[in-house]
Each structure stands twice: as C-alpha cells, then as structure tokens.
Structure 1
C-alpha cells in the first residue's frame, strides 16, 4: 500500500467518541487532524517544536542518578546528557504545570515554574 493510500485511510478513520476507548493510535490520528487544520506552516512547525521541547524537558529529569551515571560512562544518549545538564542546573524534578492543548488558541505554553532539588520554586529558564 502506498503512503498516500495510507494517509487517505487514516484521514477517513472513525474515532471512538469516548476518550477511554481511544488508543494511542487514535489520539495520534486526532492530533494529526488538528495539526492539518493549522493553515500556517510556521505556526504548525512551531507548535511541533514546542511540543517536543516540552516533552524532552519533561522526560529528562530523573531521580535515578545511578542509572544515568552508569549510562554516561558508556557514552550515554540524548536524554542522559540532558539529565546531566539539568542536574548541574539544579533541576532534578519534572516541571509542574499544564500541557498546552494541541492546535488551540488557549495554549498555556511551557510551565512557568520548576521544582528544584532544594524544594524551592524558581522561574523557568526556558
């Protein structure tokens, strides 16, 4: 099956009405539809970039320092290097705050506050 045929089938897919019945695939289809509704390519790509930046910054902080240190000794990977940088910056916990809504005008943006290892709140650097 060619890529265009796959895209056509996915676009025509009937999604479950109830959120609980939606699989990750269904949610991806819904997100894809919302992204396609954004006419301006720059706005669409900015949203995608912000989403991935937030996701990576959410995933990177970890309290499992031993595993990250062992992984760094073997060269590490992208998330482990981000963990090292965030740890050195005093950011050891995940950011708190609301995720922005896909393709929405009420987007909240990145969290405004972050939790640090000293359990105090400081302004988010990004």
Structure 2
C-alpha cells in the first residue's frame, strides 16, 4: 500500500469517527500535573519554581489556578518532577550553576543564550 493510500484510508477513518459511524481504536489522555501539589511537596516558593522551570511567576500562578495548562517541554518536565521529585533537585543544581544573575554580577552582562536556557532538555520518554 502506498503512503497516499494509507493517508487516504486514515482520513476516511477519521471522518467516520467524527460523524459517529466508527469508534476510535484508542484514546490517549495526558494528566495535567498538579503544580500546587508539586510545589508543596518540594517546599519551594513560586519564584524558585519559576526559575527552575525557566518561566515567569505569573505563568506558575496560572498553572496553579488551572487557568492555563502547561504544554510541551514544561508539561514533560512537570510530569517528570511529579513522578520523581529528586529530578527537581537536579534541575535546581543545573539552574544555580548556569544562573545568568551570577554571570551578571561577575561580568556586568548577561548573554542572551544563558538567559534562555534555564531548564535543560527533559529526559527522553
């Protein structure tokens, strides 16, 4: 079967599912991490948590109140921290050693590259 035929079959199946003529063979749901519970378990402030996550305190607050949900890398990192709280300690150690604030104190400048890389890539799942 050619890739075109596979795509066509797949799209026809999707349309059938949408119109209720067929059932989906599987449904994938991802739980949204409970930021409030994670922070409480780690005993860290919103500012410390935001710094480790490489985001703003406003974003952490919106996740906590469930006004917004973390997506992409942030969601993966939160899920990892929720499953393995020691991962947060490892992230904090990395953030502290690559802290742009410390660089600013020493050199008077902060490189843009260092300012953007507060949270290293999450482990492969």
Structure having the larger proportion of residues in helix: 2
TM-score normalised by L of structure 1: 0.29
User: More relative contact order in 1 or in 2 (CA 8 Å, sep 6+)?
Assistant: 2
Larger Rg computed on CA atoms: 2
TM-score normalised by L of structure 2: 0.29
Structure having the larger proportion of residues in strand: 1
